[in-house]
């Protein structure tokens, strides 16, 4: 019986020295801001018939992506100030055009102009049409050759 009491006492002491304890692990992570805009021109953008007037001619689309929790803006600007310029860069040889994109409708300048203002996250992305308008001129009223402009779209987190 004495051995049984001794064993029972040792077992009790052993159990008390292995009492349950706990610890915690904090987990956290972060996601950096990501913004992108992809401009997808269509065939019409490089085969413009400048002798025929155009209204809302679809020349491309954009795919906007942003994970900014405060939204984003997209600005547009034109290298030639909203004019298709002749390849020889003569200021007189131009064809003016206007653009419709997002909430922007009008003449482009060489400075950034806000065209889109989004107050929410577009994680999956949003597609928008790019359309232009111009009054065609008779071929005999224009110098022969190529006419071009470059429009830049910039996405910025708010």
Residue 41, beta-bridge partner list:
60
Confidence (pTM): 0.81
Residue 122 has pLDDT above 90, yes or no: no
Q: Which of 12-16, 57-61, 75-79, 115-119 has the lowest mean pLDDT?
A: 12-16
Query: How large a percentage of the chain has pLDDT more than 90?
Result: 72
Can you read off the two tokens belonging to residue 130?
A: 């790019």
CA distance 22 to 15: 16
Residue 119 has pLDDT above 60, yes or no: yes
Contacts of 116 (CB under 8 A, 6+ apart): 64, 72, 73, 74, 101, 102, 103, 104, 128
Cβ(137)–Cβ(97) below 8 Å: no
Contacts of 46 (CB under 8 A, 6+ apart): none
User: 25: how many CB neighbours lie within 10 A of its CB?
Assistant: 4
Residue 130, beta-bridge partner list:
60
């Amino acid at each position: 019986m004495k051995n049984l009491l001794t064993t029972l006492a040792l077992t009790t002491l052993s159990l008390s020295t292995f009492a349950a304890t706990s610890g915690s692990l904090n987990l956290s992570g972060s996601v950096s801001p990501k913004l992108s805009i992809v401009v997808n021109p269509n065939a019409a953008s490089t085969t413009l018939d400048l002798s025929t007037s155009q209204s809302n001619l679809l020349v491309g689309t954009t795919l906007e992506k942003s994970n900014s929790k405060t939204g984003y803006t997209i600005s547009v600007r034109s290298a030639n100030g909203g004019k298709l310029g002749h390849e020889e860069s003569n200021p007189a040889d131009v064809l003016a055009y206007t653009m419709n994109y997002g909430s922007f409708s009008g003449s482009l300048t060489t400075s950034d102009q806000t065209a889109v203002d989004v107050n929410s996250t577009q994680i999956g992305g949003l597609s928008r049409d790019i359309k232009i308008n111009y009054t065609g001129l008779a071929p005999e009223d224009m110098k022969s050759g190529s006419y071009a402009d470059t429009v830049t779209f910039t996405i910025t987190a708010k």
